[in-house]
Amino acid sequence: MNNKPIGVFDSGLGGLTAVKEIINVLPNEDIIYFGDTARVPYGSRSSETIIKYAKQDISFLKSFDIKIILAACGTVSSVALPEIPCDKVRVVGVVEPAAIAAVKATKNKKIAVLGTKGTIDSKAYETEIKKLMPDAKITSIACPMFVHLVENGYSEHEATYLIAKEYLKQVIDNGADTVILGCTHYPMLKKVISKVLGENVSLIDVGKAAANYLKEILDTENKLSELKKPSYEFYVSDAKGGFEDLAKLFLKRDLGALKSVDIDKIKED
Amino acid sequence: MNNKPIGVFDSGLGGLTAVKEIINVLPNEDIIYFGDTARVPYGSRSSETIIKYAKQDISFLKSFDIKIILAACGTVSSVALPEIPCDKVRVVGVVEPAAIAAVKATKNKKIAVLGTKGTIDSKAYETEIKKLMPDAKITSIACPMFVHLVENGYSEHEATYLIAKEYLKQVIDNGADTVILGCTHYPMLKKVISKVLGENVSLIDVGKAAANYLKEILDTENKLSELKKPSYEFYVSDAKGGFEDLAKLFLKRDLGALKSVDIDKIKED
């Protein structure tokens, strides 16, 4: 038993979709969340910048006494985590859990990965899937507009459908039966994506896969909490809140006021 | 005569549309450009964060021996400049020149302003127009998707048209004959915006208005350069280049390699 909190971070608030899933499968855990809203989005930035930002985000979470960290961000998991050395506090990403879930779900061994430009360029999901299923046929598509469409309330808009149809054409052409939604924003687009791909294609939600993976790790390592009334704290890096509406969209519940931190003052380890 | 360079900065690369206009009207000037690509976009961030970032951008440009600075960013001009004290090097924004141009252009005294959320919330354009034309009727619309659509190559896409039709409905309803494109990205959407509003509505390009304004100031203050072969330098804050294609889109010419600077190491004055 270990009642220390789980740390979760993301470039912004999309990672709250993962928090929602963690609360579902691990209802007795304290959670501390950090969203780097002063520098969101990460997906189109260079690897150097993404790694630098991720290190600062991790350092901030380590300033609390936590037991494990989830990088609930496809871009950080793909681009930065492979470059960040192991340390006392384990940092888990969304790539491995999603790859495991996709390999379990596929019947025709044709898997597609949707992600930000950084995620797709890194080939991280491809590498992880190939480890588990060397003969998998993988189609990888960068979908840079998806995050903006979600954040601006266009999740079910006709414009999103038009853009999704173009992004997903190759997925249909290549006959994938399983699609990894490789960014924590994308579950908000499930309706539109299913409309384009048809109902028979399995959509892998990275937040859900990561939450199940976290549960497995904590259970195996005998580190599950037994808190009856766990607490949730939410930090953002922009100077002011004002993100409550967007946060509610992802978390599907009220989360009270967000606390601000000055990420420039966080020193990397 | 003053052969020192003009400094221009923007949250990202949209400000290059203003550089293009400066090169047109002031062909004998050296220009140093800074785009804060590691933290773009500013438009949806809090005032505190926008002001902090703008101060760092200005400090970076001041590290060169320049004669004047243009904040070629609607958000910075609206939100940050009113909060930044005057100093030896004058900092000019895009709001005043655009307001002057709009007041000159309108016949029915109905003006619309399109901008980022930060720009519209600040009411900066409204305030400036009211100074010049107190009985003007002003419609202000935040268009947060426009920057993303331009940056991702959707400037003339059907999805952009659908989104623009919704943003601009109120402009049509209110009968504005003049529309300020209050963000340096928006001139890339002129075709779509004209298609929605009709050809008779005047579109005010803030970059063009600011370039003309700069010329007037430098001329009046006797500070024009007389360089036969002026030089242009382009800096970005993201660790790596890779922005050349996007830069070319805005500048309509090749600009060679972009140089990287670490904005975290720039101290505010």
Q: What is the pLDDT of residues B13-47, one digit of tens each?
A: 999 999 999 999 999 999 999 999 999 999 989 99
Same domain, B43 and B172: no
Q: Quick one: pLDDT at residue A44? A: 86
Considering the domain architecture, whether residues B44 and B112 belong to the same structural domain is answered as: no
Beta strand ranges found along A57-175 (DSSP E): 68-71, 90-92, 110-115, 137-142
Looking at A32, A183, A210, A258, which residue is catalytic?
A183
Q: What is the pLDDT of residue B240?
A: 60
Respond yes or no: is residue A183 known to be catalytic: yes
pLDDT tens readout for residues A186-209: 999 999 999 999 999 999 999 999
pLDDT at B254 over 80: no
Residue A44, domain extent? 6-93+209-265
* Preceding omega of B97 cis (within 30 degrees of 0): no
The single residue of A73, A214, A247, A258 carrying the catalytic annotation is A73
Residue A56 is predicted with a pLDDT of 95
Using CA atoms, how far apart are residues B108 and B131, in angstroms rounded to an integer? 17
Of A156, A175, A206, the last residue of a domain is A206
Are residue B219 and residue B196 in the same domain, yes or no? no
pLDDT tens digits, chain A, 269 residues: what are they?
899 999 999 999 999 999 999 999 999 999 999 999 999 999 889 999 999 999 999 999 999 999 999 999 999 999 999 999 888 899 999 999 999 999 999 999 999 999 999 999 999 999 999 999 999 999 999 999 999 999 899 999 999 999 999 999 999 999 999 999 999 999 999 999 999 999 999 999 999 999 999 999 999 999 999 999 999 999 999 876 567 777 888 887 777 667 888 887 776 65
Residue B15 within any structural domain of the chain: yes
User: B138 and B38, same structural domain?
Assistant: no
The pLDDT of residue A226 is 93
pLDDT of residue A251: 82
Domain-located, residue B104 = yes
Residues of chain B with Cβ-Cβ distance to A149 below 8 Å are 145
Distances, alpha carbon B57 to alpha carbons A66, A242, B11, B13, B71, in Å: 36, 25, 9, 13, 9
A224-257 residue pLDDT tens: 999 999 999 999 998 765 677 778 888 877 776 6
Distance from CA of A240 to the nearest CA of B (A): 6
Chain A hits for B154, Cβ within 8 Å: 145, 163
Window B:150-169, CB contacts with A under 8 Å = 152, 154, 157-160, 162-163
- Beta bridge partner(s), residue A267: none
Verify whether residue A143 is a known catalytic residue. no
B149 & B243 share domain: no
Does residue A26 sit within a domain?
yes
Size of interface A-B (CB pairs under 8 A): 67
Is-contact B3 B226, C-beta < 8 A? yes
pLDDT in the model for residue A88: 87
Q: Are B67 and B42 in contact (CB under 8 A)?
A: no
| Assigned domain for A1 exists | no
Q: Is residue A175 part of a domain?
A: yes
Which chain A residues touch B163 with a CB distance below 8 Å? 154, 157, 159
pLDDT, position A264: 79
Contact B49 A238 (CB under 8 A): yes
Token pair of B147 as six digits: 């920057």
CA atoms within 13 A on the CB side of B264: 15
* B10 and B84 together in one domain: yes
- Least Cα separation, residue B261 to chain A (angstroms): 12
pLDDT for residue B79 is more than 70: yes
What is the tally of structural domains in chain A? Answer: 2
ipTM for this model:
0.89
Nearest to B240 among A48, A145, A239 (CB): A48
Query: Are B145 and A148 in contact (CB < 8 Å)?
Result: yes
Section B233-246 average pLDDT: 79
Residue B269 has pLDDT above 60, yes or no: no
Residue in B39, B45, B152 closest to A145 by CB = B152
A253 is a domain residue: yes
**pLDDT given for residue A152 in this prediction:** 92
Based on the domain organization, do B87 and B213 belong to the same domain?
Answer: yes
DSSP B204: E
Question: What residue ranges in B46-103 does DSSP mark as E strands?
Answer: 68-71, 90-92
Which comes out higher in pLDDT, residue B251 or A50?
Answer: A50
Q: What is the pLDDT of residues B109-165, one digit of tens each?
A: 999 999 999 999 999 999 999 999 999 999 999 999 999 999 899 999 999 999 999
Domain end residue (candidates: A206, A222, A244)? A206
In a mutagenesis test of the B interface, which of A13, A40, A46 is the best target, namely the one with the most B β-carbons within 10 Å? A46
Helix (H) or strand (E) holding A259: strand A259-260
Query: Is A45–B52 a contact, with Cβ atoms under 8 angstroms apart?
Result: no
**A80 CB-contact burial (10 Å; exposed 0-12 / middle 13-18 / buried 19+):** buried
A241 and A160 within one domain: no
d(CA A207, CA A204) in angstroms, rounded, equals: 9
Compute the nearest-CA separation of A148 from chain B (Å). 7
Q: Is B238 in Cβ contact with A46 (below 8 Å)?
A: yes
Contacting B residues, span 231-260, partner chain A, CB-CB under 8 Å: 238-240, 242
Contact A46 B240 (CB under 8 A): yes
Asked if residue B192 and residue B160 are part of one domain, the reply reads: yes
Q: Which residues of A touch B49 (CB under 8 A)?
A: 38, 238-240
Residue B86 shares a structural domain with residue B114 = no
Residues B202 and B107 in one domain: yes
The pLDDT value recorded for residue B250 is 84
Q: What is the mean pLDDT of residues B40-57?
A: 93
Whether A241 is covered by a domain: the verdict is: yes
In chain B, what percentage of residues exceed pLDDT 70? 97
pLDDT in tens, B163-197: 999 999 999 999 999 999 999 999 999 999 999 99
> Is B248 found in the same domain as B202?
no
pLDDT at A269: 57
Question: Residue B1: inside a domain, yes or no?
Answer: no
Please identify, among A206, A227, A251, the residue that sits at the C-terminal boundary of a domain: A206
pLDDT (0 to 100) of residue A244: 77
Q: What is the CATH number of the domain that holds A53?
A: 3.40.50.1860
Greatest Cα pair distance in chain B = 50
**Gap from B79 CA to chain A (nearest CA, Å):** 14
